[in-house]
Structure 1
């Protein structure tokens, strides 16, 4: 196992970057432990500087460069977290940085990257397009490229996260995969000292390039589609991370956007933790039984890799999950267009302690008979029991009620 021999290099990276980063907390989750049947711990890298693990690799790479190379400035390509990590590390160390981000990058990540002093260029839709643009700029400027994952010094920086898990002696560590730099580093750090630990990677169904490559035994490019986990949409895995993952990673599983969105919601509500899609992917795999956990109660670590979620997306996810869980409902009734009917409906909402959000009258649609009105009522309801009571009360009054999905 050639890559575990890099363990001492990981220790050196830890010493190098420690003055610039946080050692993030590892917290036990009663909620997710009960749901999975194992002892689940959350490694909260969303509390890292710039909101993700990427700053570890950025600092280690920049601090490993010769002064003459730093003076040329650096350039990076990223959907957001690597961008922020390189921009922040460069600013801290007094290095000029240019960051190329996809045109689809969340506005929060774009603004954060600019705030760290980087020259930000929006170009293309995916990382591979941005890399082509970066090559063009480097030919003209001589800037040094900081790859998000295909660089051993970046990987060794990410590996320092694994060192922070050694004292816990986990049985299983679950890690999101985009290009594979994080899981490669964690695997090097952990497998060197805990050879029996299981390392499980998680990708989104929208971008399964590393899983397909591992199963095929060769690098395969897969064009990503849209996902709420924008931070792990990678078309082309690198040969470096592919080799490390083949050697050290036990399995790679997939989760979809519905599972990721539910996990974002649960982490916010139950753990009071704000995460982005990529950061929620590992826990999504655990609570949706995508991983074969040991029969005995085991220590399972979910790497919460980042918290830089776009607030508009977060709001949409919360709203959708409230609808799915029937804590916010939208009902449709067709009743005579006469005084008193709306009051009867709203009285039943109040009776079950519902909170009205919106009311809409529709008297002109083709399915509304003359002299009737269609009423949509959106309201919050405390529980399913309260909702069932509401439906029973409406039925007892002879008002047929339908849910609008």
Structure 2
């Protein structure tokens, strides 16, 4: 095993697809469940599509219940001993953490006429980390990463780096993004939510549909079974162009891809395919497609997108889309991109319309977010 590659030894997730990762194959791209209640925006009742895990949005214990169930399954799959779990590093990536719990408590106090009601009674990011450590007897201090849509992708890279530096033998990387009214109202206010479907790179695309996810990935210096996927590391690049979008000329995206290849000592010719960020927003699709072409001017690898299957899970998409993509690779295929019908003449790339065989080799996973955070994760199918 090359020194920079770490085996992925366990994973589990909960998303709109349910618990069965095999549901990814053959899906045509659902339009999303209308899970949340009707939302009041500027006194206008709107019903927004949403990819939900379930419809129980107002249960105060929902976050921990989903979180603990997913982590338990990932730990079981990893076959780590209690002593190994105790020494495992914990890395959490999210843009909202337990924000919904704050909303629920605030609403309850308002309805009860409690004068102590404040909009965000739970402040800081460490409540979930402390709960995970208590539940699973982990001694490590949690690392919390909040970098918008790259949160759990950056958590993966930080975990990989700290294992390579010798701080840990294993790392538990958690991505979580559950329904909350603050986030969905924010994206609705930005007019980024699609009416019916997510159609990355399609001429008729009209935006994102948000989704829920809780996912856990375990990496380590060694695996008790032969791993099928290795985490090689990756690269990041900060883009000061705009708080909400990457530079539309694709330069920052290209630089992020090149950083990832350089940091992992991988040649462009080794890349089998690219999982795009693929949000189906106008600016993201332009910047990402131009960036890929700039980084791969001679021969562009096949590209695909995962968000049409599960929605945009924001800070959790790093771990969730890694898991779903890994499962597809293990089953022998690179998934197609649902909902793509009409090429956009302004975009220089076309995503996969059909599944292709998953050859052994290197795959790039793109994640780009608000605030100028751009990350590419590199994995190797062996």
TM class by shorter chain equals under 0.3
The structure that is helix-richer by fraction is: 1
TM-score (norm 2): 0.28
**Greater C-alpha radius of gyration:** 1
TM-score (norm 1): 0.26
